[in-house]
Structures are given as C-alpha cells and as structure tokens.
A and B are shown apart, each in its own frame.
Chain A
Amino acid sequence: MNAIPAVDMRGIVKRFGSVTANDHVDFQAAKGEIHALLGENGAGKSTMMCMLSGVYRATEGEICLNGKPARIRSPKEASQLGIGMVFQNFRLVQTLTAAENMVLGEKGSLWRGRGWLKRKSREIEELAARFGLGFPVDRPIWQLSVGEQQRVEIVKTLYRGADIIILDEPTSVLTPGEAEQLFATLRQMRAEGKTIIITTHKMKEVMSVADRISVMRKGRMIASLAKEDTDERELARLMVGKEVVLERKERGEAGTEPLLAIRRLKAAGHGGRQALDGLDLTVNRGEIVGIAGVAGNGQKELAEVLNGLHEWKSGEIEFDGKKWRNASVRDTIEAGISHIPENRMKSGLAGSLALTDNLIAKSYRSSERSSRLGLLRGRANKSWAAEQVERFDVRTPGIDTPVRMLSGGNQQKLLFAREIAREPKLLVAVHPTQGLDVGAADSVHRMLMDLREAGSGVLLISEDLDEILQLSDRILVLFGGRIIGELKHDEADRAVIGMLMTGMREAAAAAEAEQVSSPDRGKKEALV
C-alpha cells in the first residue's frame, strides 16, 4: 500500500475496566478495497470497529482518515466523517418503517408529513435499486426478514453518504444464498469507490470476497495479508494460533442397538401449520445422526418434542425401550435426554446467574446437589462446578461470575458441561456451533465424538453441512416436516444433500446413480 490509506488506526488500546480488549492494535484499510478483519469471537474485532464508528472511545491511540487525523467522539461525528457501520445486532427501530429508520436524526424541517415521507421513500427505493438491494420501504421493520433488515442497514449507510462502510459479522444471520447476494452487493459498492471493512470468523467468506485480510487474535493484530499471498490453512493457523484439522473425525463402528425410534410423528408448529408431517427416525446407541435441512422445515419442533417442550398430535415415540405419551420437560430430563438448544442465552442458560447455578440447573434435585429438605449443598456444588469448569475448559474469571459475561464459546462449553456431565443417553444438539469460532467449534465437536464413544446417541441438527459431514454416521435430510433422504456417511455427497435440502428429491436421485434410500411417501412434496 503506497497510497494514503482511507482508514489508519494506530496504537489503539481499549480497556473495559480491568479487561484489555485491544492492545496497541494497528489497522489500515486502503480506499476502494474490501478488507476482512478476521478473528475468533472475543479477539477484539468488533471493539476496533466500534471505536472507528464512534460507539466506543479509544483509551489510547489515534485514528486518521485519508491521511488526516480524525477525532471521533460519537456516532454522530463518525457519520459526519463518512463512516457507516452495520452492527451485528442491527440498529433498527422495530416499530418504524425502513424509510423512517433512515431519516432518523436527519436535519431539516420539523414537519414530517405523509408527502415528505413519500418523497424520501422514493429516493431511498432508487438508491436501493441502484445497488440491487430490494426491501419494502414502508412496512415496519419487525415485519421484514433478517436478510431484508440487513439490506435496510446497508442502504442506510449509503443513504447517509458513508464512504467507509463497516459490516460486523454480516453473514452470521444469512442463509448461504443471501450471503452470496451480499457479496455481490459489496463488490458493486467497491466498484463505486467505497471502502468496505467486514469482520468475520468464517474463512470461506474471507477467501471469496476480501482483497486484503487482517487477522486479530486475543486483542492483538497478528498479520495483514493480501488474499493472493495466503490460503485458508494459513489464515486458520494465524487466527487460532494452532493448526486446525477440518477433516472427518476418526471413529470406530457405530452402534446398532436402537435407542430412539420415532414413527409417523405429526406435530403442529407455532404458527398452526403442520411442522412435523409423518416423520420417521431412529437413533442408535453410540451413533451420531445428523439432520440436515434448511431452517423452518421442522428442526425446531423435532428438538422441542424430544425435550418435552412441544406437544405432538399423532405418531409414536419409543425411547430406551419405553413408549412415550406426551412427556413433560422433567420426564425427558429424567429419562436421560440432554438438550443443546438453538439459542443458548434464550433457553439454555440464565445470563444473570453464576456458573454454578447454571451448571446445577438440571441436577439440583439429586441428593448430591441438595439435601432432603431441599436446601442446596452450597460448598459441594461449588467445588463440583469448579471441577466441571476445569474439565470442559471453560475460561471464566470465576465460578461466581454471571454467565452473560462469558464469551459465546465459553457459554456454549458451559452448556455442554451441564448437559454432558449428566451422562445422557441421548443428546439433541441444535446448531451447536452457531456463532462459535474455529477453536470453540472444534472442542464442541470433540465433546460430541466423546459422547458417541461413550455409547450415547446424538441427534445433531445443524445448518452447517461441513459440520454434519464431519461428524455424522448417518445423515437424514429434513424437508417439509419429514425425512426425504437418508445417506450413510461414506456415500454422503454435498451436492446430493444440497438438492435434497431444497426438496429436489428426483434431481438428487438423478444426480446420484444409485437410489437414495428413503420412504416412498413424500414423493409428491419432493417436487414442490
């Protein structure tokens, strides 16, 4: 880089109390490039970007924009300097329309009647169309899909005249298709001379979209490389500090003794539609069964039925040799089913409670955790919790720390600690590595494999095909509330699964010379 960089951050230090989030970090991005800031969760990427966008103020260090020292003390000043940021948790007012969200804080006349808003809406629509970003401008945000909301955010930065556009983990909420679309937009924005910075921990994205890559680890800048000079393996090593193997896990033979058998299961979804529509499924002891599928095809309901959170209408569930009627959550816990829910902070952990309390949340009734009168055995529980924290390598300032203070990866490890320490017969894991960095995802995978070796069954529900292919003994594809394809791990093929996931059973069958084994009904739906 010979030219003056558009963004030049030097010697940036940011401390939150006693925690140092950024430790003398230098960061440069050239004008008109797509720059990826790569790092694990908690590496300090977002903190850096929040300082650039004026949300945080740096403890030390200076920022230059286009060679001129800039003082950014508030988001307003950042915006005036042409910096716009798309936050990971969108900064949109849910009850306002897209257009209203964009004109927030805009100077001008006091009166904002219908006519004025209509003119602005048209202006915004034109701007959005120029970048191929479509969304309804006059519906409240809460009615828009996540992908649409992100487009609103991007157009918002453009509308406010930003030249430097920061996107914090932009693809974490998008489907693969939407992500591709986003990258196309980013390239077009680059063509218009905008400087784009994305933070991410996904290697594939970095390689497909970025021009330059800066890698951060534990609050420090590790390297800054051009895309041509590096590869995924090197980046992964720089990011986590050690080689990570992204290959299929070594394993022994899977078990054959059936543990869970589901037959013709039907259940209504939350919106009243038929979420599970005659689902058949078995899981054996010592086996990992992966459920692939696009979100919203019944994954959530399946996991909830198995954990007593959702009623089912008809069908049979046999678990561990016993027939089930509608079981309560407590029944399923006592039967030996563990659950890694989709959203760990919503239904997995209680954020304001300490590690100990979260760890005993499912076992507090047992005689080891509480006395006969129902009083908790405080000291014993704490030392047990400390053991588990040690065993599962949860990094925490202490076992009395509220769980929400931990990083996402450590929260997930804590959740696994609770669910696995009970030695479950079956573990239902939903998107277990969502939002985790490579290192944490790897330890989650290892825990799942260990559980399998110990003879438990694992039902792995995930949208991440790599993860499913890496871990599963058998792969089932869920579509429209039923299983429309089953593949052994050695015959699993990414393209075939991909087609099955979109319901294209016949195309998948044609693509694969041999017949995919699956029940006959479902053929009709397969063509949808």
Chain B
Amino acid sequence: MDFLIMLLAAAIASGTPLLIATLGGILNERAGIIQLGTEGIMLMGAVTSCLLYLRTGSLGLALLAAAGVSAALGLIHAFMTVSLRANHIVTGLAMTLFGTGLSAYLGKPVSGQPMPAPVPKVNLDFLDGVPVLGELFAHLDVFTWASFALAVLLHLLIHRTSWGLHLRAMGDNPATADVMGIRVQLSRYLYVTAGAILIGLAGADLLLVYSPVWNEGMTAGRGWIAVALIIFARWNPLRALLCAYFFGALDSLGFRIQLEGTAIPSYFLKMIPYVVTILVLMYLGWRNRGKPSGSPEALGSPYIREQRL
C-alpha cells in the first residue's frame, strides 16, 4: 500500500511537467501545426527561469521570463510554418537543436547551483488525517494545482466554447474555417505562441519543482515524451492528464525498483517508460484500427486561400 501511494505521489510529481508540455503541444497541433521543438523550448524555459530566479530571487519574474522566451520561440515557429510555409518537422527539429545548444551555453555559469527557495505549497491541512487523499494532495505545490486547473480549462475551451470550435475546425479543415469567416493565419499564430508558452513553463516547472538544479540537457527526452503523449492522449487535455501521470508513474517505477535493490541493471529499469510507450502505442493502434485517429486532419499542412487544389 505504501509503495503504491509513494508511486502515485511520484507519478504526479514527475508527470506535471509532462502534462504542461503536452497541453502546450495539444494547443499547437489542434491548430494544425506540428510542434517538435518541445524539447528545445522546455530547456530554454528551464534555463531562463533558473537564471532569473538565481539573480532576482523572484519566482514571478522567473516565470515571466520563461514565458517571454518561449513565446518568442513560438512566434518564430509560427512565422516559419504559417507565413513561410516551411516544413513543420524540420522547423521543429531545428528549434530543438537550437534550444538545446543555447540553453547549455547560457546555463553553464549556474550549472549545479541549487535554487534559493522552493516553490510555495498549497497546504490543505484538513486533509492530513485522511488516508491516500491526504498523502497525495495535502501538500502539493502551486504548479501542480495550476496544471490540474489548466487541463480542465483547456478541455472546456476546446469542447465547450466558440473559440474551441474554431480551433478544431482550423486544425481539421482550414479552408472550411476560412470560408466560415475564421481568421486562420492569425489564430494559428496565437495558438502556436500560447502553446509554446505552456511548453516553456513546463520546462520552468521541471527545474523549479522537480529537480531544482540546472544541468545541461536536464529534460532528458521529456520533450519527446510530451510529443508522444499528445498522440497517446488523442489530442484531448483530460486524457493528457491521465497519460502524463501514467507515464510519470512508469518513470519513477524504475527508480523505486532500484531502491528496493534488485539485480536488474539500472539501465534496463530506466528503459521501462519507453518500452511501455511502444507497447501501449502498439496496443492502442491495434485496438483503434479502422477508427479515425483523432489527429487533426490538416496537421502539418499550410493553408493559403488562393492555392488551387
């Protein structure tokens, strides 16, 4: 029982940055833009917040700076893919390489320095005596609560508002959205930028909450996992919540097993989440064969009104 609760708590802790990054990715892809720059934008978000937090000691400024830098990266991605009609995949990969390199350079002076203060927690003392719930939810940090709220809010936005309707239409069939009077290009800019901000904040969360020391390449592939989680969650924010925690649990499972002391080499234990991803994707692909994948139809294709088809 204890093991299970520890695992769940660890799942939430390591799942939160994944969740925020996945939500950002969902916003991008729902608008029809593939975002493979996740890893790079997360790293840039992490290193910016680290630098600002160490220098000013203000959490607010650190977050603002992370949001600003990732918004800039998002704008570049939008300009490349929407206006210049560059290939989304190449642009995204370039973004990741760029972000990885630049963050390593910027972070060099602060590498290994611990953060001045931990992120504030929301203490729900009345839950303290309650089994399970108390252990899981009584002392979570603000970011984690914010990510819950964000998943729910995005779900409502996408499925219950006119903006969401337009977003879905734009990702599935921009030509239709256009004749219905939706400004496709402008909206795509907005969603790509908003999505990039979330991805950058996911990096900040990773650094400020999960492992509060900057290391070069500290995301360790989490950006790529977030990309896979988008598909896993079938572009749905609430499913993303479950998938991110599932993945977070797998991530910490290897660690826990190691602590128990087994003969399995740690390299194999670290593989668990990735092997399970492949297996689950295979299973889902097989189970949903013949059904629409849920992927936005126009994902990855530019839209120009006068182009002849």
- Whether A associates with B in a native complex is yes
B282 at interface, CB cutoff 8 A: no
Q: Are A106 and B162 in contact, with the CB atoms below 8 A? A: yes
What per-residue 1/0 map shows which CB atoms of A67-108 lie under 8 Å from chain B? 000000011100100000101010111111000110111101
> For the complex, is A177 an interface residue (Cβ under 8 Å from B)?
no
Q: Are A94 and B165 in contact, with the CB atoms below 8 A?
A: no
Segment among B93-101, B107-115, B301-309 that sits at the interface with chain A: B301-309
For window 149-165 of chain B, which residues contact chain A by CB distance below 8 Å? 160-165
Task: Report which residue of B163, B166, B180 has the largest number of chain A beta carbons within 10 angstroms of its beta carbon.
Answer: B180
Q: Is A113 an interface residue (CB 8 A)?
A: yes
**Is A256 in contact with chain B by the CB < 8 A criterion?**
no
The answer on a CB contact under 8 Å between B161 and A104 is no
Interface residues of B in 128-163 (CB under 8 A from A): 160-163
Check A85–B176 contact: CB distance below 8 A. Answer: no
Q: Is A379 an interface residue (CB 8 A)?
A: no
**Complex contacts, B308 vs chain A, CB 8 Å:** 16
Q: CA of A16 to CA of B306 in the docked complex: distance in angstroms?
A: 9
Is A110 at the interface (CB under 8 A from chain B)?
yes
Docked pose: A456 CA to B76 CA in angstroms: 60
Q: Tell whether A113 pairs with B177 under 8 Å between CB atoms, given A55-B306, A94-B297, A105-B166.
A: no
Of B77-85, B167-175, B256-264, the segment with at least 4 beta carbons within 8 Å of chain A is B167-175
Which of chain B's residues have a CB closer than 8 A to the CB of A208?
Answer: none
Complex-state Cα separation, A93 to B176, whole angstroms:
7
Q: Are B161 and A112 in contact (CB under 8 A)?
A: yes
Interface residues of B in 262-297 (CB under 8 A from A): 292, 297
Closest residue of chain A to B163, judged by CB? A110
B287–chain A nearest beta-carbon distance, Å: 18
Q: Is B178 an interface residue (CB 8 A)?
A: yes
- Given the known A-B contacts A93-B172, A96-B172, are A112 and B179 also in contact in the complex, defined by CB atoms under 8 Å? no
- On whether A75 and B180 interact (CB within 8 A), knowing A109-B162, A110-B161, the answer reads yes
Q: Is the beta-carbon distance between B162 and A55 smaller than 8 angstroms?
A: no
CB nearest neighbor in B for A77: B181
Dominant SS at the B interface? helix
Cβ-defined contact, B181 with A142, below 8 A: no
Known contacts A55-B306, A112-B160, A142-B292; A94/B182 CB under 8 A = no
Complex: A279 Cα to B165 Cα, angstroms: 49
Q: A53 at interface (Cβ–Cβ under 8 A)? A: yes
Contact A104 B292 (CB under 8 A): no
Our count of residue pairs bridging A and B at CB distance below 8 angstroms stands at 83
Question: For residue A56, which residues in chain B have a CB less than 8 angstroms away from its CB?
Answer: 305-306
Q: Are B181 and A76 in contact (CB under 8 A)?
A: yes
Q: Which of B162, B166, B172, B178 contacts A95 (CB 8 A)?
A: B172
Nearest residue (CB) in A for B182 is A105
Contacts of B165 in A (CB 8 A): 96, 100, 103-104, 112
Cα A95 to Cα B171 in complex, Å, equals 10
Minimum CB–CB distance from A212 to chain B (whole Å) comes to 26
B181/A91 in contact, CB under 8 A: no
Q: State whether A112 touches B162 (Cβ < 8 A).
A: yes
* A55 interface neighbour in B172, B179, B181, Cβ under 8 Å: B179
Q: Please determine whether B309 and A110 come into contact, CB atoms closer than 8 angstroms.
A: no
Q: Choose from A16, A54, A91, A110 the contact partner of B173 (Cβ within 8 Å).
A: A91
The distance in angstroms between the C-alpha atoms of A250 and B228, with both chains bound, is 64
Minimum distance in angstroms from A489 CB to a CB of chain B: 40
| Contact indicator A89/B309 (Cβ below 8 Å) | yes
CA distance A181 to B69 in the complex (A): 58
Judge whether A93 and B162 touch: CB under 8 Å: no
Measured CA separation A16–B173 after assembly (Å): 23
Q: Is A92 a contact of B181 with CB atoms below 8 Å?
A: no
**8 A Cβ contacts from A312-343 to B:** none
Q: Within the complex, what minimum Cβ distance (angstroms) separates B250 from chain A?
A: 30
Contacts of A110 in B (CB 8 A): 161-163
A383 to B292, CA, bound (A): 45
Q: How far is the CA of A101 from the CA of B169 in the complex (A)?
A: 8
Asked whether, in the complex, the Cβ of B160 is within 8 Å of the Cβ of A104, the reply is: no
Tell me which residues across on chain A come within 8 A of B309, comparing CB atoms.
89
> In the assembly, what is the distance between CA of A297 and CA of B116, in Å?
74
Inter-chain contacts of A101 with B (CB < 8 A): 169, 176
A114 to B180, CA, bound (A): 22
Hey, which chain A residues are within 8 Å of B169, CB to CB? 93, 96, 101, 104
Given A94-B173, A94-B297, A111-B161, also A53-B179 (CB < 8 A):
yes
C-alpha spacing A20/B162, complex, angstroms: 40
Task: Please report the C-alpha to C-alpha distance between residue A53 and residue B176 in the assembled complex, in whole angstroms.
Answer: 13
Q: Which A residues lie within 8 Å of B179 (CB)?
A: 53-55, 75, 79, 85, 87, 91
Does the CB pair A75–B181 fall under 8 Å? yes
Q: B155 CB to closest chain A CB, in angstroms?
A: 13
B182 contacts which chain A residues (CB < 8 A)? Answer: 104-105
Q: Bound complex: CA of A92 vs CA of B175, how far in Å? A: 9
A51 → B minimal CB distance (Å)? 10
Asked whether, in the complex, the Cβ of B297 is within 8 Å of the Cβ of A105, the reply is no
- If A16-B308, A89-B309, A96-B168 touch, whether A79 touches B181 (CB-CB below 8 Å) is yes
Within 8 A of A (CB), among B179-212: 179-182
Q: Which chain A residue lies CB-closest to B309?
A: A89
State how many angstroms separate the Cβ of A207 from the closest Cβ of chain B. Answer: 30
Known: A56-B306, A89-B309, A96-B172. A104 touches B177 (CB 8 A): yes
Inter-chain pairs besides A16-B306, A103-B162, 8 sampled, C-beta below 8 Å:
A16-B308, A55-B305, A91-B173, A95-B292, A96-B165, A104-B182, A105-B180, A112-B160
Q: List 7 A-B contacts (CB under 8 A).
A: A79-B180, A91-B173, A95-B297, A103-B162, A110-B163, A112-B160, A112-B165
Q: Which residues of B contact A (CB under 8 A)?
A: 160-166, 168-169, 172-173, 175-182, 292, 297, 305-306, 308-309
By Cβ-Cβ distance, the 8 closest A-B pairs, closest first, are A76-B181, A105-B180, A105-B181, A75-B179, A91-B176, A104-B180, A93-B173, A93-B172
Interface, chain A (partner B; CB < 8 A): 16, 53-57, 74-76, 79, 85, 87, 89, 91-96, 100-101, 103-106, 108-114, 142
